[in-house]
């Protein structure tokens, strides 16, 4: 099966792209933006929005037709379990299969100061009507907050005998987040803890495939709730009974 982007009609190939150029907003900047789109092999690009976003910087939104078409049969992806258990189902599973509370340590690590994502998954109030792991019977959730060094996270995980480490990582310049995520895996291996802990990462541009490539057990992106993470946890931890 071949699929193409959808804009106005099925398989018309229309896409919307946006980017910033280090130029003041004038006619030459607009011409440069159109050339960028053409070099990206966009057909008949049109600037639908342009604005100044700072001294000598211009932001553009371009509507155009892409040449790209994808054969679904040629794609190989790593899938996570698609069925999300409810909080009640997760709590029942925990009660029936574990003799203790599972310990989940969460943090935004390295220089990452963003806590919205980790708070939504960990904190009792959760997000969008979905309660966080702190509210789950059978789970002891410890949210360490932001800018936590990997060494501190590992030390806490060892002291608390963590079953799961949940890392939130916002994408940063020059792929600092990737270096930090890889370092965490390497440190866990040095401490001989990697095979003892379920390691999960989440973030705006994190995918399950990327997480597996970096050495994690799972990756979660936008639209993730505590139930998604807890479902993966209960389905992948070795049970006690």
Q: Which of 141, 130, 127 is nearest to 94 (CA)?
A: 141
- Asked if residue 176 and residue 102 are part of one domain, the reply reads yes
Give the pairing of strands 164-168 and 218-220.
Answer: unpaired
- Asked if residue 131 and residue 49 are part of one domain, the reply reads no
- Token pair 């495939």 in the structure block, residue: 209
- Asked if residue 214 and residue 111 are part of one domain, the reply reads yes
pTM for the predicted model, two decimal places = 0.76
Whether 124 is in a domain gets the answer yes
Whether 199 is in a domain gets the answer yes
Which pLDDT tens digit goes with each residue over 27-59?
999 999 999 999 999 999 999 999 999 899 999
Give the pLDDT of residue 81: 57
Report d(CA 137, CA 134) in Å as an integer: 8
Enumerate the active-site residues. 125
Compute, in degrees rounded to 10, the torsion defined by CA atoms 186, 187, 192, 196: -80
Give the pLDDT of residue 240: 80
- Asked if residue 56 and residue 119 are part of one domain, the reply reads no
- Which of the residues in the chain have pLDDT under 70? 78-82, 172-173
Compute, in degrees rounded to 10, the torsion defined by CA atoms 67, 73, 78, 83: 100
Interacting residues of 17 by C-beta distance below 8 A, sequence separation 6+: 37, 40, 42, 61, 62, 64
- Asked if residue 65 and residue 92 are part of one domain, the reply reads no
CB atoms within 10 A of CB 199: 22
Give the pLDDT of residue 80: 62
Give the pairing of strands 102-108 and 70-71.
Answer: unpaired
Last residue of a domain, which of 39, 71, 103?
71
Whether 175 is in a domain gets the answer yes
- Asked if residue 96 and residue 37 are part of one domain, the reply reads no
CATH code assigned at 121: 3.40.50.280
Whether 78 is in a domain gets the answer no
Give the pLDDT of residue 8: 85
Which pLDDT tens digit goes with each residue over 100-130?
999 999 999 998 888 999 999 999 999 999 9
How many domains is the chain built from?
2
Last residue of a domain, which of 22, 43, 71?
71
- Beta-bridge partners for 105: 142, 165
- Asked if residue 175 and residue 100 are part of one domain, the reply reads yes
Whether 82 is in a domain gets the answer no
The domain containing residue 192 runs over which residues?
87-236
- Asked if residue 151 and residue 56 are part of one domain, the reply reads no
CATH code assigned at 49: 3.30.30.60
- Token pair 């997000």 in the structure block, residue: 127
Whether 76 is in a domain gets the answer no
Last residue of a domain, which of 38, 71, 104?
71
Whether 80 is in a domain gets the answer no
Report d(CA 37, CA 41) in Å as an integer: 7
- Asked if residue 224 and residue 171 are part of one domain, the reply reads yes
- Asked if residue 137 and residue 212 are part of one domain, the reply reads yes
- Asked if residue 148 and residue 97 are part of one domain, the reply reads yes
Report d(CA 166, CA 153) in Å as an integer: 10
Find the angle CA(47)-CA(52)-CA(53) to the nearest 5 degrees.
115
Q: Which of 222, 37, 41 is nearest to 117 (CA)?
A: 222
Whether 241 is in a domain gets the answer no
Radius of gyration of the chain (CA): 22
- Asked if residue 126 and residue 54 are part of one domain, the reply reads no
Give how far Cα 95 sits from Cα of 10, 135, 146, 201, 233, Å.
48, 15, 31, 25, 14
Q: Which of 19, 3, 20, 24 is nearest to 73 (CA)?
A: 3
Is the torsion defined by CA of 131, 134, 137, 138 positive or negative?
positive
């Amino acid at each position: 099966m071949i699929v193409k982007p959808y804009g106005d009609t099925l398989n018309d190939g229309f896409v919307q792209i946006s980017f910033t150029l280090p130029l003041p907003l004038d006619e030459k900047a607009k011409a440069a933006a159109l050339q960028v789109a053409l070099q990206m092999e966009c057909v008949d690009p049109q600037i639908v929005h342009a604005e100044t976003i700072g001294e000598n910087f211009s932001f553009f939104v371009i509507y155009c037709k892409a040449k790209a078409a994808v054969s679904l049969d040629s794609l190989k992806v790593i899938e996570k379990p698609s069925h999300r258990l409810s909080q009640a189902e997760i709590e029942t599973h925990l009660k029936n299969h574990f003799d203790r509370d599972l310990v989940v340590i969460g943090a935004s690590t390295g220089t990452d100061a963003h806590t919205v994502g980790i708070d939504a998954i960990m904190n009792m109030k959760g997000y969008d009507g979905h309660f966080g792991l702190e509210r789950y019977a059978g789970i002891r959730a410890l949210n360490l907050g932001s800018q936590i060094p990997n060494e501190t996270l590992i030390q806490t995980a060892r002291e608390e005998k963590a079953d799961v480490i949940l890392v939130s990582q916002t994408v940063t310049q020059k792929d600092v987040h990737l270096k930090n995520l890889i370092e965490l895996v390497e440190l866990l291996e040095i401490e001989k803890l990697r095979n003892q802990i379920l390691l999960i990462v989440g973030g705006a541009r994190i995918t399950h495939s990327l997480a597996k490539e970096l050495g994690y057990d799972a990756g979660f992106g936008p639209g993730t709730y505590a139930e998604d993470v807890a479902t993966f946890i209960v389905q992948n931890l070795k049970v006690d009974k």
